[in-house]
Structure 1
Amino acid sequence: MSATAKKSSQTRKTLQLVLIAVAALVLAGNFVVKSLGDDVAPAEGAEGSALATLDVLTVQDAATEDGYDRESDFGSAWQDVDDNGCDTRNDMLQRDLDDFVLTDGDSCQVASGTLDDPYTGETIEFERGERSGDVQIDHVVALMNAWTTGAADWNKDKRVEIANDPLNLIASDGPANMGKGAKDAAEWLPENQAFRCEYVARQIAVKAKYELWVTPAEHDAMEDVLTSCPSEPLPAS
């Protein structure tokens, strides 16, 4: 064999050895990644998700409750802010109840319907009358919470807007709504754990839309919920 041929053969063998070594390193790397399994840190929320939006909300302590008055500051309940002929409560009942029936001769007032209550997971048969309060319309971000996280500095028109914004409203079990009161996510979450991700995502959507801040405890509670659903989307309405 000539010297040139011998040199070419040695070069090919060297190249083969290098390729084998690279392949081995790739396989080893894949094995290590796979073997880490659940020990690998979870991915951050997808862009546009509730978790990603939470990260950009201002975090600071709540302001004082001084001066808060529900009707004076946020308007009477419920108004027809979209001029569709129905007040906000009936708009939300029509949106959230299944098989709703309107009062005879009325194109707006809901007489009955069925609510798959998101807060308790129970089914509630709504019927207008003495037990109308079995189904209430909850402000997902309570108006008191809004007041202490930025709304105190707004004009009344903007406060009336958030008080009647469908994004911030949901039909729910009356006693559960009363139990929530003005509590934030650090103090109250729905009994129905399957709804908690959606609930917190809606609160974050409202806070982002109206440029409200979250308290440190509220932020941490929201983040804790969203760790189990990091890609939970923000509701649009």
Structure 2
Amino acid sequence: MALLALVGALLAGRAILPDRSAPGPAPGSPTRAQVVSLLGAVRVVDARTKAGGYDRGCGSGQGCVFGPAWSDDQDGPGGHDGCDTRNDVLARDLTEVRFKPGTRDCIVMSGTLADPYSGQTIEFTKSDAKAVQIDHVIPLAAAWDLGAARWPPERRRVFANDVTFNLLAVDGSDNQAKGDSTPSDWLPPNPAYHCFYAGKYLTAATRYDLPITVADRAALGRIAQTCG
């Protein structure tokens, strides 16, 4: 029960733009004790081993191992609400949101993102949609290698579209730089958001019983020491 309460507290938080004159974690970041608690709960494996068979594409002859991208046809958080997953996340994470008329407040046309990786303010418009992308906090390819390859298809679809635990709207260039890296190979470019990212990564890992590697545990452990 204590871990569930901790996870709920972390999900309720949202990193916001920090006071640039004040060093330390961004407001909304978990405490050192919270990150340490999650580190104690997550499984640890020696290394990430390529599972083989990862094929994200859903075209003819492709594996479609996590289902169609941003599908509303899944039974997890945000599923079956009439809006695709990408727009669900944009509507949640942006402020001053404007929707396309006639879409039942579904298709996001513009808004403002307080980016949880860079700390920058990004003005989103649908005409420049790549400027804001939706990040899988635990990348799909990494999840596949760490155990999702053995999951049933529906669990993989839920994971890929889980707006509560594993998805964030972020700066597009940072999302591209991250790729399928895990914390030992990539961290948000702004150190003020490392604690926030560590909390989100570990919360998703515990939710889906995905392990972290020894190297990732070391990286996240170092981050924990910097959290307030």
TM-score range, shorter-chain basis?
A: 0.7 to 0.9
- How far apart are residue 95 of structure 1 and its match? 0.3
Q: Is the 8 A contact 1:65 1:144 kept in 2?
A: no
RMSD over aligned Cα atoms: 1.4
TM-score, length-normalised on structure 1?
Answer: 0.75
Whole-angstrom CA distance in 2 between matches of 1:188 and 1:213:
17
Shift of residue 152, structure 1, vs aligned partner:
1.1
Measure the CA separation in 2 of the matches of 1:221 and 1:98.
32
TM alignment of 1:56-135, pairs within 5 A: 56-60=41-45, 61-71=47-57, 72-80=64-72, 81=74, 82-107=79-104, 108-129=106-127, 131-135=128-132
Which runs of 5 or more structure 1 residues have no equivalent in the other structure?
Answer: 1-43, 231-237
Higher helix proportion (structure 1 or 2): 1
2:212 aligned counterpart, secondary structure = coil
How much has 1:184 moved relative to structure 2? 0.3
Q: How does 1:80-229 map to 2 (within 5 A)?
A: 80=72, 81=74, 82-107=79-104, 108-129=106-127, 131-166=128-163, 167-229=165-227
**Comparing 57-66 and 141-150, the one that deviates more:** 57-66
CA distance in 1: counterparts of 2:213 and 2:43, whole angstroms: 8
Shift of 1:132: 0.7
SS of the residue 2:134 aligns to: strand
Larger radius of gyration: 1
Unaligned 5+ segments in structure 2 are 1-30, 58-63
Greater RCO structure (CA 8 Å; 6+ sep): 2
Q: Segments of 4+ in structure 1 off by > 6 A?
A: none
Shift of 1:50: 2.5
CA distance in 1, matches of 2:112, 2:38: 33
SS in 1 for 2:65: helix
8 Å contact 2:32–2:226 — kept in the other structure?
Answer: no
Which digits, 9 at most, give the CA deviation of each residue in 1:43-70, with x for residues without a partner? x954xx2311212322112121411112
- Mapped to 2, the partners of 1:125 and 1:104 lie a distance apart of 20
